Amino acid sequence: MAPSFPAVAAGTVNDMTEENSAATTLTSAPPPTQDAPVVLEQVTKRYGRGRRSVTALDGVSLSFAAGSFTAVLGVSGSGKSTLLQCAAGLERSSSGSVRLCGKELSRLSQRKQAVLRRQRVGFVFQELNLLPELTVAENIALPLRLDRRPAGRADIEHAASRVGLSGGQLRRRPAELSGGQQQRVAIARALITRPDVIFADEPTGALDPHTADAVLRLLRDAADGTTVVIVTHDPQVTRFCDRAVFLYAGRVDRELPDPEPAMVARLIQQLGDRAAGERG
C-alpha cells in the first residue's frame, strides 16, 4: 500500500462542485457525536518516515452513530481502506483519537483490542474472508470459538438462516460455494457475536451487480440496529445507506445524507477528474 497523494488544501475543495450545491449538505466536518460507537477525532495516518513518508489520512474527524449504515467512498488512494483499518483498530493511527464502542483504542493493548474486535465488532472483507480449511459452520462460529464461548448448533443455524444459508451448506467448505454465498457466510460470521459495529471493505467488489444487490440487502436487513461502515467505490452500494462520506487525499471531502446512486456516481466522477487534473 503506497499511494501517492497530491497535497490539497481543504479550502480549495468546494469550488468545483457548485452546480451540486443543493446536494452538498456539508463541507466541513461537524463535531463528532461523543456517544457514537465509532468516533474518530483528528486522525492522521502516515506510512513510512521522513521525506518518503506518505500521508494516507490527514486529520479526519468522523463519527458513526448507533444503528447507522454508512458508505465511505472515494477514488483509489483516497484513504478509505486506511480509515476503516484505523477505525477498527487493525492499524494504529499516527495521531488523533479513535474511540470504538466507547474505548479509546490508543489506550488498549494489542490483546485488549483483539478481544474488543471479537466481542463487539464484525468484519466482512472483499476476499480471503473465510478460512478455506474450515467448514461453513466452523467459519461462522470462529469468533465465538476465539472468544472461548460455546458455539451451539442452534446459534450457528440461526445466524446462517438470517443470511439465507441452508443447513446443508453448513457442512461445505468455502471453495464449494459461489462468491455471493461466501459473502453471506462472512456476514453470518460477522453477525454471530451480535456486534455493535460491522466494518465491511468492498464486500461486493468481486460480485456481479445482481448478487451484490442481494448481499447488501441482506446485510442491511440482518444488521438491524448494528452500526455498519462500508468502504466502497461502487455508487450502487449507497442505495442501502443512510449516509455517504467522501474522502479525497486523506481528508473528508463531503458527506451526503440519504445518498442517491446517481448523485454519488457524479461526485465520484468529479473527484476522479480532480485527482487526474492534479496529477497531470
Binding positions for other proteins, rule: CB under 8 A: 1, 81, 84-85, 88, 90-91, 110-111, 114-119, 121, 123, 125-129, 131-134, 138, 142-143, 145-148, 189, 201
Note the residue count of the chain.
280
CA distances from 44 to 57, 198, 249 (A): 5, 22, 12
For residues 172 and 239, which CB has a smaller minimum distance to other proteins in the complex? Answer: 172
For residues 124 and 241, which CB has a smaller minimum distance to other proteins in the complex? Answer: 124
Cβ atoms within 10 Å of 30's Cβ, excluding its own: 10
For residues 112 and 158, which CB has a smaller minimum distance to other proteins in the complex? Answer: 112
Provide CB contacts within 8 A for 134, sequence distance 6+. Answer: 142, 173, 174
Identify the bridge partners of residue 123 per DSSP, sorted by sequence position. Answer: 199
Distance between CA atoms of residues 5 and 225, nearest Å: 36
Smallest gap from Cβ 133 to other proteins, in A, equals 4
Smallest gap from Cβ 43 to other proteins, in A, equals 15
For residues 226 and 270, which CB has a smaller minimum distance to other proteins in the complex? Answer: 226
- Tell me the helix, strand and coil percentages in the chain, rounded to 5: 40, 20, 35
Smallest gap from Cβ 54 to other proteins, in A, equals 13
Provide CB contacts within 8 A for 182, sequence distance 6+. Answer: 129, 130, 174
For residues 88 and 275, which CB has a smaller minimum distance to other proteins in the complex? Answer: 88
Smallest gap from Cβ 20 to other proteins, in A, equals 31
Smallest gap from Cβ 3 to other proteins, in A, equals 12
Smallest gap from Cβ 227 to other proteins, in A, equals 17
Cβ atoms within 10 Å of 49's Cβ, excluding its own: 7
For residues 114 and 214, which CB has a smaller minimum distance to other proteins in the complex? Answer: 114
Degrees, nearest 5: CA angle 36-38-41 = 100
The owner of cell 446462517 is: 160
